[in-house]
């Protein structure tokens, strides 16, 4: 065999297995690049999602803190014994207005109820009506207060023949001043509303006693007994 023939035979044929492997190497290299790009892209996407979730959580915390500091959602102030009763001027059933000064020099019972013509509020108003003459004899006036409009109060009065004046505080001014407006819970939901409360004001215009979270049964009798003891 000549030298030229030996040189030609030493070259690797293009169709041999070695040639195929060599030809596949560049293609394998180009195939790995998209995989790396996908992993990098997935990493960036995860970081972006994490940042977005963190931002949303921070926004929720900020909103929560703003709601907590909102005066409208703050707890109602508590009256204490001996404190001067807050002044008020509000419309009453039958027309006209009622003020704290109208009852200067006499004891005054203020019972705050959530809603006219509901079962508990009806029993409470009927009990105070039943004892109206006894309260008068004890030198004590009685007023019922809720956020119902006057028409609802008058309908409530007429339906149950109530004998105590009913005050309408639709703007919650008196309710808030006397601590009868605040957070309530029902079926797992928290909302603002009227807290069933009774306040006994002495003849000197100062708070004598406050009943909170009132249980209706026997309540009017208990308030009468306290008024008589003064």
Percent of the chain with pLDDT over 90: 61
Neighbours of 212 (CB within 10 A): 15
Angle, vertex CA 103, rays to CA 117 and CA 80, nearest 5: 80
The three-class DSSP label of residue 31 is helix
8-47 confidence digits (pLDDT tens): 444 444 455 454 455 455 554 444 455 555 555 555 555 5
Rounded to the nearest integer, the mean pLDDT of the chain is 80
SS3 185: strand
Active site residue 121: yes
User: Does residue 50 register a pLDDT over 90?
Assistant: no
| Candidates 98, 108, 116, 121; catalytic one | 121
Q: Are 184 and 91 in contact (CB under 8 A)?
A: no
d(CA 161, CA 184): 30
**Entry pTM:** 0.68
User: What is the structure's pLDDT at 62?
Assistant: 38
Q: Are 43 and 51 in contact (CB under 8 A)?
A: no
The rounded percent of the chain whose pLDDT value lies above 70 is: 67
pLDDT band at 177 (very low <50, low <70, confident <90, very high): very high
Confidence check: pLDDT of 104 > 90: yes
């Amino acid at each position: 065999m000549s030298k030229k023939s030996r040189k030609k035979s030493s070259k690797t044929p293009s169709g041999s297995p070695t040639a195929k492997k060599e030809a596949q190497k560049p293609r394998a290299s180009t195939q790995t690049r998209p995989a790396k790009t996908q992993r990098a892209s997935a990493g960036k996407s995860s970081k972006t999602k994490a940042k977005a979730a963190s931002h949303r959580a921070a926004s929720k915390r900020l909103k929560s803190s703003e709601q907590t500091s909102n005066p409208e959602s703050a707890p109602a102030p508590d009256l204490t014994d001996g404190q001067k009763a807050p002044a008020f001027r509000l419309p009453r059933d039958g027309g006209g207005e009622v003020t704290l000064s109208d009852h200067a020099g006499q004891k005054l019972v203020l019972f705050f109820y959530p809603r006219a013509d509901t079962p508990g509020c009806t029993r409470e108003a009927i009990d105070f009506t039943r004892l109206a003459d006894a309260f008068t004899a004890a030198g004590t006036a009685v007023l019922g207060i809720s956020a119902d409009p006057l028409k609802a109060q008058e309908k409530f009065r007429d339906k149950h023949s109530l004998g105590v004046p009913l005050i309408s505080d639709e703007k919650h001014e008196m309710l808030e001043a006397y601590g009868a407006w605040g957070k309530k819970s029902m079926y797992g939901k928290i909302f603002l509303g009227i807290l069933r409360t009774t306040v006994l004001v002495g003849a000197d215009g100062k708070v004598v006693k406050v009943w909170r979270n009132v249980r209706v049964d026997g309540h009017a009798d208990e308030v009468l007994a306290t008024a008589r003891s003064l």
